[in-house]
Structure 1
């Protein structure tokens, strides 16, 4: 079968590999769609830890074609979305319920072969069945939506909250929708690209800000801004040093800042601890998707999340390496890899 392989940092290509054979607890899944994530670009450039050689792709959906001898809950013919993050269940973090902080965490598409291939192996505990009537393209959005859900859960959004979302990529646009579903009445998205600002307003943002047009902090939290004094919650979704620096300045006194975007490992950002102390800000990270993948799959299946307008294009496995190796062009939100035309 064809697979998009990261052979080493900076070395990505399509290779022919053997179709994997499922172990007793595994499902062999024929991949229908797999999303290209910013993390895939970080992996290629060595900005995020991985274990090459490995097949990339951690946002996938597909049909079960073979089940291991110990698998009983999911049958061949079912459509599943895979939670790529495999915790050990034994370390102190797992034992305390912090499975996303597992000391032995392994991820499909990062540490073991993933969904940029015709077939992928998925442990049965990582598979979540979704309706056969659901567009498989939508199934590939369950993983990024789950990551956003974890961030929203930590943000503590209440009915009537004001929220600023920094970054207009797929994570930002999904977060806008989840913030509204969580009860926020004011959701402001900041991004440089006009097409993404328009899209944000179409999917639920009550206002958008162009950071190239002036001071974002003044525009949002200044005396004459959209929310004078600052918003209740800031969610950084861009994974850019500039927006991380802005985040604490946009929150009101007593507000919450959630860092959801992925910056390259080792990058530093200057912040002012006195400001965090004096205004008693809550600053937290949000890492992957502990115990929320089922909720994300149900949300996708319900139709409550707008997905179709977030899809920029579909590409083949042969086209995927060039897409991953290139910066996303202006206006692009999400690219889906479709392994087979069948």
Structure 2
């Protein structure tokens, strides 16, 4: 982000339309909306094919230009989505991370009835596990010394949880499924977890990396090929994920299950306090309210 400074942070946000640009249609003043923060150039092949997330010249609100940690944000109308009736604007702020999870589950190819292991109960891992279970998969969510996050997972209705501080991954998988898993989705960003996940993946299984890793990892290629396993990468999201997530949020029962992801609400003036709480792993998501004292 440093080359683009100074700018206002915040790529996960929702709000109310207070002004419309010339010629904008489909929105009205007072509409509750959220926005896909990725803005493509509109000219390259990726943009022409509707894949602005793959545009090499893309800009992201809150990462390359001014974002949502403000009383107002300027967003292209084409990136905005109206919140369904009944969805509180506070829940709308969860839309962006939920689309990341939606995309990861799509990339992984999760199917009903499959045994799916999700590694990492951070915000994205929690959302991935919830999405996979919602699609009918049998899900095991694994963490390490992650009581707060696993407690949140339980409140979200996730059925199979394990803290690997007290058992091995192999033992946990055997206890829940009785066999190796069909799919692994890694959301830890901890490189060692990739080898751990591969060790409990069945032959012809699919391993999807959704975490961001600072270090390379070594793949046992011969065993990987002989086991006919697949390696996939899930990053960012797609335009198609947004209507899908908003349709989920339109259901009160789904909102009730996802609400525990918001651990606390703070005024925007206390943003640094919120960042420190999150850094200390004392919260899942902290909602910042612009304009609150």
Q: How much does 1:53 deviate?
A: 1.1
Partner of 1:249: 199
* C-alpha spacing 1:158/1:272, structure 2 compared with 1 (3 Å): same
Q: How much does 1:331 deviate?
A: 4.7
Unaligned segments of structure 1, at least 5 residues:
1-42
Of 97, 109, 114, the residue aligned with 1:156 is 109
Judge which range, 284-293 or 76-85, deviates more: 284-293
Taking the aligned partners of 1:171 and 1:322, their CA distance within structure 2 comes to 21
The higher-RCO structure (CA 8 Å, 6+ apart) is 1
Judge conservation of contact 1:71–1:124 (CA < 8 Å) in 2.
yes
The 3-state SS of whatever aligns with 2:268 is coil
Answer yes or no: is 1:227 the counterpart of 2:177. yes
Taking the aligned partners of 1:339 and 1:250, their CA distance within structure 2 comes to 45
TM norm structure 1: 0.78
Of 319, 323, 337, the residue aligned with 2:270 is 319
Q: How much does 1:129 deviate?
A: 0.5
Partner of 1:289: 237
Per-residue displacement from partner, 1:7-59 (whole Å, max 9, x unpaired)?
Answer: xxxxxxxxxxxxxxxxxxxxxxxxxxxxxxxxxxxx5xx6xxx6211110001
Q: How much does 1:215 deviate?
A: 2.4
Taking the aligned partners of 1:53 and 1:217, their CA distance within structure 2 comes to 47
The 3-state SS of whatever aligns with 2:184 is strand
Alignment size in residue pairs: 289
* C-alpha spacing 1:128/1:97, structure 2 compared with 1 (3 Å): closer
Judge conservation of contact 1:79–1:132 (CA < 8 Å) in 2.
no
* C-alpha spacing 1:154/1:118, structure 2 compared with 1 (3 Å): same
Taking the aligned partners of 2:219 and 2:170, their CA distance within structure 1 comes to 15
Answer yes or no: is 1:84 the counterpart of 2:37. yes
The 3-state SS of whatever aligns with 1:54 is coil
Taking the aligned partners of 1:318 and 1:202, their CA distance within structure 2 comes to 29
Judge conservation of contact 1:100–1:287 (CA < 8 Å) in 2.
no
The 3-state SS of whatever aligns with 2:172 is helix
Partner of 2:89: 136
Which structure: greater strand fraction?
A: 1
Taking the aligned partners of 1:228 and 1:101, their CA distance within structure 2 comes to 39
Q: How much does 1:326 deviate?
A: 6.2
Q: Which runs of structure 1 show a deviation greater than 6 angstroms over 4 or more consecutive aligned residues?
A: none
The 3-state SS of whatever aligns with 1:88 is coil
* C-alpha spacing 1:254/1:126, structure 2 compared with 1 (3 Å): same
Partner of 1:307: 258
